[in-house]
Chain A
Amino acid sequence: MRKASDVRVFDFATHGSQWLALLPEVILSLAAMSILLHDAFSRSKDPAGGEEERRASIDYLLTMYGIAAAFIASLWLSDGSAAPDALIAVDGFRVAADLILLGGAALVVVISRDYLARENIRSPEYHALLLFALVGMLVLVAARDLILLFVGLELMSIAVYVLTGIVRNDPRSSEASLKYFIVGAFASAFLVYGIALLYGATGTTRLAAAAPAIAASVAGGDLLLTAGIGLLIIGFAFKIAAVPFHMWTPDAYEGAPTPVTAFMATGVKAAAFVALLRVLTVDLGGAREIWIGPIQWLAILTMIIPNMIALAQENVKRMLAYSSVAHAGYLLVGVAAASALGRAASLFYLAAYTVMTIGSFAIIYHVAGKGDRGGFVEDYRGLGWKRPWLAMGLLIFLLSLAGFPPTAGFVGKLYLLRAAVAADEIALAVTLVLTSLIAYYYYLRIVWKMYFDSAPADAVEPAKSEPGFRWAIAGSAIALIIGGILPGAVIERAEDAVAVGAAEANASRSVQALDSEIGAVQEEIPSAETQTP
């Protein structure tokens, strides 16, 4: 039994309290630094082949242990709390986002193994940069101050720019990295200018503490606030690749090493998305009338256009890149709903999206073969009979991406629809349904090729995968099915996670701030008790 007094309160009065509030991030940073140090001290020895492989597997283990430890640290944070206007958020929303990001990163690390071996990528910095990017993502979802948010976003972005270009002898990888870097720097400039204008409008970078100033600005029609919010949305739209700020996405996603593409499509997008969700619907909840219009348009365009373009793609990696852009549109519906239900639906969808996207990218790099040469729809002919298990995995991931029952993708979409309808966003709900129907075509085309076309005689057999890869794929597929049949537990968890955030949103709007917050805490306590057996 857990008592109310056991709730860990982070008051940030001491440096120790600040360190502990960022414990998962600290653990991951230490893991990344130990990989770098391990590399520095082991490289000078014997450069023979065996040594190299041993070092790589130690790096792999360090990464996995680091992520596992950060996972535990996040769970430990889940019964903590902090003031809503503190620098760092300690609440269920952050912990839920942390768990999604850490789980996604662990999957990426596991599926990277085969790829790194096949493409002969020996840089030990791969794992270190992946962890640094993960630190940036966790900081991004934990930040309640726009300064910390910006630093986290940059840490994430810079590490991923480098990861994109890590295959230096492949011009496509370098091109993708350069494009991503230039567009990313451009987006950061928008974001930081937006932050500066918001500071000008409210006098603080901590928006949660500025609800009265925001309300006054909205009432007075302050142009500074409107411009700040607009630039902020543009900066985030680049990061989550929302139309019309998505032009870099297909090239960057196609050129990057495929596990990194999976990481970009899930981790980077999820982290930026959670931050956007918190900034807009909680911190700027009082300025909804300013941002709701742009967000609705972004959502509608992002659902329609990429789904149309994906229909014409022959390269499966590029097709999935457009599919990932389209999913940003579905997620934006959750932002537009701007309710606790919308936030919970977004969290659930992000979790499902992370699993199914990483899984499908993992399988397509296996099918594409060395150097990613054969990644076209035609290469999938007869895969269902040649490699039944691999094809079965891809089938489940694609069905989930398309939103077929009984997969988590279906439940996620249903849940987003419910949030949209509850918030009276009927146009968005209709667009979501119609564009999902369009998307069926290009997902099912691959399924058709796998099972109803025979393999050509000269087809190249995809290489055999290592056990860890098979476990990861099988686990992901089973998780998607279970999430589709019995979503209750995950949905409850997501709703618990946003309960506190919802109380804050109310607090920023109404005078009875204290009452609703106390109510939320009282609700929180029994739900915390039910979690501990």
Chain B
Amino acid sequence: MMYDFLFQFFAATAILAGVIMVTRKNPVSAVIFLVVVFFATSGMFLMLDAHYIAAINLILYGGAIMVLFLFVIMLLNLGHTDSEDLRGPFGGLIGGAVAIGFLGLLARLLVGDAPAAASVVPAGEALRAATAEQGIIGVVARPLFGEYFMVLQVTGVLLLAAIVGTILLAQRKHA
């Protein structure tokens, strides 16, 4: 029941986002809807217990390749027209709701209990048992968001500093 519903949800989302994608005039918003398609297909991979492919689909296609597309579009200096594609009538509302939702999640994370402290990646036979129980993603994700949570946070700051620095060094000089 739940399984069918989830499949239909992801399938419908993928088809709908695909249609929206090809009908957009603005290439930036087309790319963003393509990302939605990738999210939906990743959901279907998850339902097939293909955790690794789901994650790679998100990280490589939804993340890296789409960012590359966006960069190319911005380099060609497209996407300045048809800006109503980007900011729909409820754009601000939806964006605000998503932001508040994420803030809520973060706040829960802040006060919530981290997984057991000794959750490092197991080796050998223990790894096989853990994979069977949590899936291959769980084996990596638990230490990442438990024991090594702060490392992940500092990496976030590192990426932010790198982005700020790149923009600072590469931007056009403003008079």
With a 10 A CB-CB cut-off, give which of B109, B147, B157 has the most chain A CB atoms: B157
Give Cα A128–Cα B160 distance, bound, in whole angstroms: 11
Q: Are A19 and B151 in contact (CB under 8 A)?
A: no
Which residues of chain B are near A499, meaning CB under 8 Å? none
Q: Are B158 and A158 in contact (CB under 8 A)?
A: yes
Q: Are B158 and A161 in contact (CB under 8 A)?
A: no
- Residue B113 lies at the interface, judged by CB distance under 8 Å to chain A: yes
Q: Are A123 and B168 in contact (CB under 8 A)?
A: yes
Given that A165-B169, A168-B169 are contacting pairs, would A14 and B113 also be in contact in the complex, using a CB cutoff of 8 Å? yes
Which residues of chain B are near A151, meaning CB under 8 Å? 151, 154-155, 158
Give Cα A145–Cα B164 distance, bound, in whole angstroms: 27
What is the 8 Å Cβ interface bit string for chain B, positions 144-173, against chain A (1 contact, 0 not)? 000111110111011011101110110001
- Residue A148 lies at the interface, judged by CB distance under 8 Å to chain B: yes
Which residues of chain B are near A129, meaning CB under 8 Å? 161, 164-165, 168
Q: Are A87 and B110 in contact (CB under 8 A)?
A: no
- Residue A291 lies at the interface, judged by CB distance under 8 Å to chain B: no
Give Cα A11–Cα B154 distance, bound, in whole angstroms: 19
User: Which of A36, A88, A125, A155 is the one whose CB lies under 8 Å from B150?
Assistant: A88
Given that A12-B114, A147-B148 are contacting pairs, would A125 and B168 also be in contact in the complex, using a CB cutoff of 8 Å? yes
Q: Are B150 and A162 in contact (CB under 8 A)?
A: no
Q: Are A87 and B154 in contact (CB under 8 A)?
A: no
Q: How large is the interface on A (under 10, 10 to 19, 20 to 34, 35 or more residues)?
A: 35 or more
Of residues 177 to 222 in A, which have CB atoms within 8 Å of B's CB atoms?
Answer: 177
Of residues 133 to 176 in A, which have CB atoms within 8 Å of B's CB atoms?
Answer: 133, 135-136, 139, 145, 147-148, 151-152, 154-155, 158-159, 161-162, 165-166, 168-169
Q: Are A13 and B157 in contact (CB under 8 A)?
A: no
Q: Are A18 and B165 in contact (CB under 8 A)?
A: no
Which residues of chain A are near B160, meaning CB under 8 Å? 33, 132
User: Which of A11, A162, A165 is the one whose CB lies under 8 Å from B117?
Assistant: A11
Q: Are A162 and B169 in contact (CB under 8 A)?
A: yes
Which residues of chain B are near A87, meaning CB under 8 Å? 147-148, 150-151
Q: Are B157 and A155 in contact (CB under 8 A)?
A: yes
Which residues of chain B are near A161, meaning CB under 8 Å? 165
Number of residues in B with C-beta < 8 Å to the partner?
Answer: 27
Q: Are A22 and B150 in contact (CB under 8 A)?
A: yes
Q: Are B154 and A155 in contact (CB under 8 A)?
A: yes
Tell me how far the C-beta of B173 lies from the nearest C-beta in chain A, rounded to whole angstroms.
Answer: 7
Which residues of chain A are near B154, meaning CB under 8 Å? 25, 135, 139, 148, 151-152, 155
Which residues of chain A are near B173, meaning CB under 8 Å? 168-169
Given that A14-B114, A19-B110, A152-B154 are contacting pairs, would A132 and B149 also be in contact in the complex, using a CB cutoff of 8 Å? no
Tell me how far the C-beta of A162 lies from the nearest C-beta in chain B, rounded to whole angstroms.
Answer: 3
Which residues of chain B are near A14, meaning CB under 8 Å? 111-114
Binding site for B on A (CB under 8 A): 11-16, 18-19, 21-22, 25, 29, 33, 36, 87-88, 123, 125, 128-129, 132-133, 135-136, 139, 145, 147-148, 151-152, 154-155, 158-159, 161-162, 165-166, 168-169, 177
Q: Are B151 and A132 in contact (CB under 8 A)?
A: no
Which residues of chain B are near A18, meaning CB under 8 Å? 114, 149-150
Tell me how far the C-beta of A106 lies from the nearest C-beta in chain B, rounded to whole angstroms.
Answer: 20
Q: Are B110 and A166 in contact (CB under 8 A)?
A: no
What is the 8 Å Cβ interface bit string for chain B, positions 90-123, against chain A (1 contact, 0 not)? 0000000000000000000111111011000000
User: Which of A16, A123, A147, A166 is the one whose CB lies under 8 Å from B151?
Assistant: A147
Give Cα A365–Cα B59 distance, bound, in whole angstroms: 47
Give Cα A145–Cα B147 distance, bound, in whole angstroms: 11
User: Which of B112, B155, B157 is the one whose CB lies under 8 Å from A132?
Assistant: B157
Q: Are B151 and A15 in contact (CB under 8 A)?
A: no
Chain A residue at minimal CB-CB distance from B109: A15
Given that A147-B151, A148-B150, A162-B168 are contacting pairs, would A16 and B111 also be in contact in the complex, using a CB cutoff of 8 Å? yes
What is the 8 Å Cβ interface bit string for chain B, positions 127-149, against chain A (1 contact, 0 not)? 00000000000000000000111
Which residues of chain B are near A133, meaning CB under 8 Å? 161
User: Which of B112, B116, B164 is the one whose CB lies under 8 Å from A15?
Assistant: B112
Q: Are B162 and A158 in contact (CB under 8 A)?
A: yes
20 additional A-B residue pairs with CB within 8 Å, beyond A36-B164, A87-B151, A129-B165: A13-B117, A15-B109, A15-B111, A16-B110, A18-B149, A19-B110, A25-B154, A87-B148, A125-B164, A129-B161, A132-B157, A132-B160, A133-B161, A135-B154, A135-B157, A136-B158, A148-B151, A158-B161, A159-B161, A168-B173
